[in-house]
């Protein structure tokens, strides 16, 4: 996996957070049980635990304690009139000590943190970005999440105040050599949720927030371009921001999932019609082969295989293609 350069590290030294990668994407769905069936049979993720009291299913292939949180629009976390779409997305930090340091730096400079949470296997804080999207920053706090998060989970969460509730852990418990499972008969064999792509209300403000506060660095594009791909220290892509040029509603544009190999991607495309799933886009590019479909709630899902994923291969990319590729 690609990592950022020494020069890139210097750019993010003074930011509150320095994420390793995107950890998960949580979305609101119209029916969490049916959503699980789709994300299992089509996207290729197992259900690792379920919260019936929260009306939510959490799915993963093992690379983290959940790649997706599928939360029902009738969940206690949903607002009145909630529609399917983005709930929040999360960045994985190296350890809890970094989480606490970032929290303290943010509070010291007057930044409002919306909430902090103890999730048993991870400790988290939540902050809205300039467009109003909820963003989670978290650190794993147990070495084996599977032993703590499995089956049916119904229990209250203890109060968590970073640096006060308990001594911050410096241990690095993020998954290092996880057991990766493949849903054999799934349409796509996903490695992981790789990136979230957002159509912005305030492109410059969002760029500045994610590079200045969140600690991501540009892979391609920048503040003066029409799109930018941002990444953490141990990822090739975590977040894509689009300038709102096409009149598309601001908010979630798509969620990207890397699949294991191109043969699976090609075979999946051939089976879409048989499974009555519409093909939204199929882009063959020297940098990436990307296929986009819709989930049952019309959320765009991109499945891709990187080819020559380098900035030079993406130079001159037009906005319309970028929407389908990045």
Residue where one domain finishes, among candidates 129, 152, 175: 152
Confidence of residue 229 (pLDDT cuts 50, 70, 90): very high
Domain boundary among 123, 152, 181: 152
Contacts of 112 (CB under 8 A, 6+ apart): 127
Give the CATH number of the domain where residue 286 resides. Answer: 3.10.180.10
Whether 16 is in a domain gets the answer: yes
Residues 227 and 294 in one domain: yes
Residues 21 and 141 placed together within one structural domain of the fold:
yes
| pLDDT for res 13 | 52
Give the chain's mean pLDDT. 93
Is residue 110 located within the same domain as residue 225?
no
Q: Considering only CA atoms, which of 89, 128, 101 is closest in space to residue 112?
A: 128
* Residue span of the structural domain in which 270 resides: 190-325
For residues 238 and 216, the answer to whether their CB atoms sit within 8 Å is yes
Residue 185 resides in a domain: no
- Considering the domain boundaries, does residue 103 fall inside one? yes
Average pLDDT value for residue range 62-76 = 95
What is the band of 7 on the pLDDT scale with cuts at 50, 70, 90? Answer: very low
Residues 240 and 298 in one domain: yes
How many structural domains is the chain composed of? Answer: 2
pLDDT single digits (tens) 152-191:
988 888 899 999 998 999 999 999 989 889 999 999 999 9
Residue that finishes a domain, picked among 152, 177, 202: 152
Q: Are residues 40 and 120 in the same domain?
A: yes
Q: What is the pLDDT of residue 293?
A: 98
Output the CA–CA distances (angstroms, integers) from residue 315 to 145, 243, 262, in the order listed. Answer: 40, 17, 23
Q: 225 and 139, same structural domain?
A: no
Has residue 220 been placed in a domain? yes
Tell me the whole-structure pTM to 2 decimals: 0.94
Taking alpha carbons only, the member of 20, 7, 14, 1 closest to residue 232 is: 20
Both 128 and 244 in one domain: the answer is no
- Please tell me whether residues 12 and 141 are part of one structural domain: yes
Residues 6+ away with beta carbon under 8 Å from 226:
242, 243, 245, 319, 322
The answer to whether residues 59 and 112 belong to one domain is yes
Whether 62 and 116 share a structural domain:
yes
Instruction: Tell whether 102 and 235 lie within a shared domain.
Output: no
On whether residue 107 sits in a domain, the answer given is yes
In this prediction, residue 1 carries a pLDDT of 30
- Residues 140, 194, single domain; the answer is no
Residue 298 counted as domain residue: yes
The answer to the question of residue 23 being in a domain is yes
On whether residue 161 sits in a domain, the answer given is no
């Amino acid at each position: 996996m690609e990592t950022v350069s020494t020069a890139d590290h210097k750019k993010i030294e003074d930011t509150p957070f320095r994420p390793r990668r995107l950890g998960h994407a949580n979305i609101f769905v119209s029916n969490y049980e049916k959503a699980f069936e789709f994300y299992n049979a089509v996207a290729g993720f197992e259900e690792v635990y379920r919260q019936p009291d929260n009306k939510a299913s959490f799915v993963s292939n093992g690379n983290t304690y959940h790649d997706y949180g599928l939360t029902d629009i009738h969940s206690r976390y949903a607002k009145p009139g909630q529609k399917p779409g983005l709930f929040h997305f999360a960045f994985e930090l190296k350890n809890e000590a970094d989480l606490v340091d970032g929290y303290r730096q943010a509070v010291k400079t007057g930044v409002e943190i919306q909430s902090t949470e103890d999730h048993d296997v991870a400790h988290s804080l939540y902050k809205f970005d300039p467009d109003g999207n909820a963003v989670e920053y978290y650190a794993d706090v147990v070495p084996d999440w599977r032993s703590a998060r499995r089956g049916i989970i119904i229990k209250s969460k203890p109060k968590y105040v970073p640096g006060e509730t308990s001594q911050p852990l410096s241990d690095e418990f993020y998954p290092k050599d996880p057991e990766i499972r493949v849903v054999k008969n799934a349409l796509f064999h996903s490695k992981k949720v790789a990136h979230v792509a957002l159509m912005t209300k305030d492109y410059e403000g969002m760029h500045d927030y994610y590079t200045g506060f969140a600690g991501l660095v540009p892979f391609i594009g920048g503040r003066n371009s029409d799109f930018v791909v941002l990444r953490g220290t141990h990822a090739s892509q975590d977040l894509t921001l689009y300038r709102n040029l096409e009149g598309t509603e601001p908010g979630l544009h798509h969620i990207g999932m890397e699949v294991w190999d191109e043969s699976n991607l090609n075979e999946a495309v051939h089976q879409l019609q048989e499974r009555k799933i519409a093909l939204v886009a199929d882009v063959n590019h020297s940098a990436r082969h990307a296929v986009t479909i819709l989930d049952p709630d019309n959320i765009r899902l991109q499945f891709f295989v990187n080819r020559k994923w380098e900035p030079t291969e993406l130079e001159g990319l037009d906005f319309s293609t970028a929407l389908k590729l990045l």
